[in-house]
């Protein structure tokens, strides 16, 4: 039995992706498996190079700092709401346009609902 490299996505996942992307329930051709393997390898190589470059700078707590640098936390709901408001307001005269999009309104609404009364 041929041993699979750990970075190679399993065949079932490749089949699922092909079905999602192309809508074909048939087994993908060999080229699809190779393309997925090459893509996974490229992504892993990019991540490794970025980590190696990052580690070349001295840091007292490498593990925590590396995780924060490579996997930053998404902006908080408050930060998202502030950005949505900034995006909705014209910068020139600081007056809102005729309306804001529903995504912006939803972010602002969620943030406001979390505030204490």
User: pLDDT, tens digit, for every residue of 2-48?
Assistant: 455 567 788 888 888 888 877 876 777 878 888 888 888 888 888 88
pLDDT of residue 12: 85
Give whole-number Cα distances, 32 to 25, 39, 61, 86, 87, in Å. Answer: 14, 10, 41, 44, 41
pLDDT of residue 1: 39
If you average pLDDT over residues 63-88, what whole number do you get? Answer: 77
Q: Look at residues 1, 43, 42, 24 and name the one whose alpha carbon lies nearest to residue 14.
A: 24
Beta carbons of 14 and 28 less than 8 angstroms apart:
yes
Beta carbons of 50 and 70 less than 8 angstroms apart:
yes
If you average pLDDT over residues 59-68, what whole number do you get? Answer: 72
State pTM to two decimals: 0.42
How far does CA 43 lie from the centroid of its chain? 13
pLDDT tops 60 at residue 67? yes
Domain limits, the chain: 11-70, 77-114
């Amino acid at each position: 039995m041929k041993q699979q490299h750990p970075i190679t996505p399993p065949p079932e996942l490749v089949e699922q992706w092909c079905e999602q992307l192309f809508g074909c329930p048939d087994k993908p051709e060999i080229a699809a498996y190779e393309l997925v393997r090459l893509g996974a390898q490229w992504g892993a190589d990019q991540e490794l190079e970025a980590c190696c470059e990052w580690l070349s700078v001295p840091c007292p707590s490498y593990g925590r700092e590396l995780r924060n640098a490579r996997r930053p936390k998404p902006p908080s709901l408050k930060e998202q709401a502030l950005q949505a408001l900034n995006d909705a307001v014209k910068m020139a005269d600081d007056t809102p346009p005729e309306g804001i999009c529903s995504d912006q309104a939803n972010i602002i609404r969620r943030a406001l609902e979390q505030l204490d009364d």
